[in-house]
Structure 1
């Protein structure tokens, strides 16, 4: 069992913040993923956002009860999908734009101290347009799910 875990971990492709910035164009304060645990170009990416009380949006959302805005969680899921799409050699240096959001459900809150797991699987792509199936979880519980349409520009 230990060898299986070791081999599985060795097969994962990790990206630190600098490597993420080489793939997607987002920068502080709008870069919403901290590291990528695993990805396969054109297929999927799994990233994490470690939510700190010092996030700028908490000053206004909401001062008495800090909650990460749902739209920023959707953006973090889109950035995770962008890692998968823009890491393909033919898409290097391009930008992935939102084309649409469907089937979006908000099922829980994200608060300071949460470690959010972001997973986006590319389920369809034709030319520069595609769809990703995205899910954000905290401690194994789904907080946001959506289908995200992207366009490569």
Structure 2
């Protein structure tokens, strides 16, 4: 289990773009289960949409990529402080099945399926109350900075 302080050791993101609140499970080299609590106080709801707040799908994808980043950094035993960054390299097979609204807790389950030449591939799903929200294949690249 990792709290937000521990997560910040593995991700360079900060408010308002740190989109993972807690890591519930992590098996290095295999999978991660993390979540984000969605509140009405999210800045994005000022414009998306003020009278019908829906958490943007692109931010769900980014949150999944951040979960993949934590898994990748932990697996490689690296942190951004080591001069490494984990970049979003691609996305395939994205599907959105349910809206995410204030009050939801979104779980991100990402499983590593391959890594070749510094490009890691993950199968990811996001769920709320055990209902599928989003699924995607995400690719990330480990690069020196």
Higher RCO (C-alpha 8 Å, min separation 6): 2
Q: Tell me the equivalent position of 2:137.
A: 147
Is the strand fraction higher in 1 or 2? 2
TM-score scaled by structure 1? Answer: 0.88
Gap regions ≥5 residues in structure 2 = none
1:120 aligns with 2:120: no
Given that 1:100 and 1:150 are in contact with CA atoms closer than 8 Å, whether structure 2 keeps it comes out as yes
Aligned-residue Cα RMSD (Å) equals 1.0
* CA–CA separation in structure 1 for the residues paired with 2:41 and 2:126: 21
* CA–CA separation in structure 2 for the residues paired with 1:95 and 1:68: 26
Cα drift, residue 141 of structure 1 = 0.5
What is the aligned length? 140
Larger radius of gyration: 1
Q: Tell me the equivalent position of 1:59.
A: 46
Q: Tell me the equivalent position of 2:90.
A: 100
* CA–CA separation in structure 2 for the residues paired with 1:45 and 1:119: 6
After superposition, give the CA deviation of every residue in 1:8-33 in whole Å (9 maximum; x if it has no partner): xxxxxx00000000111111000001
